[in-house]
Amino acid sequence: MTRYILRRVAAMVVTLWFIVSATFVIMHAIPGDPFVTEARLPETVLANLRAYYGTDRPLGEQYVRYLGGLLRLDLGPSFKSDTLGVNEQIALGFPVSAQLGLQALVLALALGLGLGMFAASRAGGLVDGFTMLVGTLGISVPSFVVAPLLIDLFAVRAGWLPVAAWGSFASTILPTVTLAVAPLAYIARLTRASVLETLGQDYIRTAHAKGQPPLRVLVHHALPNALIPVVTILGPITAGILVGSFVIEFIFGIPGTGRMLVRAIFERDYPVILGSAVFYSTLLLAFNFAVDLAYGVIDPRIRVERSMS
């Protein structure tokens, strides 16, 4: 197991290095100087700016410097903000995005699993039809359609919730719901399909035959196996929630890393774009790794295979 973990961590470092290099090259392959704006700064000021940020150095040197900074967990200064470096911007924004993402994940998991299981246990019924409808609409209707609708209905017309302000719990409700819609739909569909398949297995028939109560068969016999596919997609889903929040942060005016990235792209703030890519990739790799480790706990068969290889 230790060897497996070490090997995975080494592979992650290599992947991360690839990602950093690729993004670095893309960022520097574009013609144009990020400091040249409509404001027309004097040449001496531009020279000072370039010297300060090191963009007057040869590319190779900038690259080595950047990698050196990464080793010290330093993502460098931002082009557009004098006071906040990339690290500080992420440190400010990420807790907000993480809170939003976590709330959405909990909501999506609770409702998605519930709906999916209930629908499968009464396949063909009313709840099942409803779940399939939610499952299709949820992955098809984009968040930038859902959000304005929710804002108009619940904030503007009904006046129950605040409009575009981040702070109180009430202000997080609409963005959380919007962000949860798509993953909820995925989880509900997957859970339904997986439970349905498990319920057709022989050992479930055996459990019924020996007189186990239906609810016990569902919860104790079917669920543990049916949940494995759901765990499989938890990594990508969590990543999707984290990354996918930038449209929602943009609409609701939430000061998270998503809005930071969109702003950075408009302002051509390359260090922030590069830093975001590095930060999100690390997060994504770590998530997938954690999920892979979790399989072993949930499914003993995988643990055995791994220890034998």
Partner 1 sequence: MIGTKSRDTLAEAVADADALAPASSRPGVLRALLGHRTGVVGLVIVVVVALVALAAPLLAPDDPTRVDALRRLAPPSPDAPLGTDNLGRDILSRLIWGARLSLGTAGLAALLILTIGVGLGMIAGFYGGLLDDLLMRVVDVLLAFPALILALAIAGVLGPSIASVMIGIVTVAWADYARVMRGQVLAARERQYVEAARATGVRDARILARHLLPNVLPPILVLASLEMGGLILTISGLSFLGLGAQPPTPEWGAMLNDGRAFIGSAPQLMLFPGLAISIVVVGFNLLGDGLRDAFDPHLRD
Alpha helices (runs of H) in 79-233, residue ranges in sequence order: 86-121, 126-140, 143-150, 169-199, 202-209, 214-216, 223-226, 228-232
Residues 23/25/31/35 CA torsion (nearest 10 deg): 60
Binding mask 11-30 for partner 1 (x = CB under 8 A): ----x--xx--xx--xx-xx
The tokens for 26 are 């893309």
Strand residue runs (E) in the chain? none
User: Position of tokens 């440190």?
Assistant: 91
**b/e for 97-128, b at 16 or more Cβ within 10 A?**
beebbebbbebbbebbbebbbbbbbeeeeeeb
Tell me if 193 contacts partner 1 by CB under 8 A: no
Q: DSSP letter for 255, please.
A: -
Q: Does 288 bind partner 1 (CB under 8 A)?
A: yes
Assess contact for 179 and 244: CB atoms under 8 A.
yes
Q: Pick the binder of partner 1 from 6, 10, 95, 140 (CB under 8 A).
A: 140
Shortest Å, Cβ 151 to partner 1 = 8
Rounded to a whole number of angstroms, the minimum distance from the CB of residue 247 to partner 1 is: 6
Q: Rule CB under 8 A: is residue 209 a binding residue for partner 1?
A: no
**Residue 204 binds to partner 1 (criterion: CB under 8 A):** no
Among 211, 177, 205, residue whose Cα is nearest residue 105: 177
Which region, judged by CB under 8 A, interacts with partner 1, from 54-62, 90-98, 142-150, 301-309? 142-150
117-136 residues in contact with partner 1 (CB under 8 A) are 136
| Least gap, CB of 267 to partner 1 (angstroms) | 9
Taking the complex as a whole, the smallest distance from the CB of residue 216 to partner 1 amounts, in Å, to 29
For residue 207, state whether it binds partner 1 (rule: CB under 8 A): no
- Report the residue number, 117 or 146, with the smaller CB distance to partner 1: 146
For 243, residues 6+ apart whose C-beta sits below 8 A from its C-beta are: 258, 280, 284
Within positions 254 to 283, which residues make up the interface with partner 1, using CB under 8 A? 261-262, 264-266, 268, 273, 276-277, 280-281
Select the span of 90-98, 147-155, 171-179, 222-230 touching partner 1 (CB under 8 A): 147-155
Q: Please say which residue, 265 or 298, places its beta carbon nearer to partner 1.
A: 265
CA 189 to chain centre: 19
Of the candidates 10, 14, 20, the residue with the CA atom closest to the CA atom of residue 76: 20
| Positions that interact with partner 1 (CB under 8 A) | 15, 18-19, 22-23, 26-27, 29-30, 136-137, 139-145, 148-149, 151-152, 156, 239, 243-244, 246-247, 250-251, 261-262, 264-266, 268, 273, 276-277, 280-281, 284-285, 288
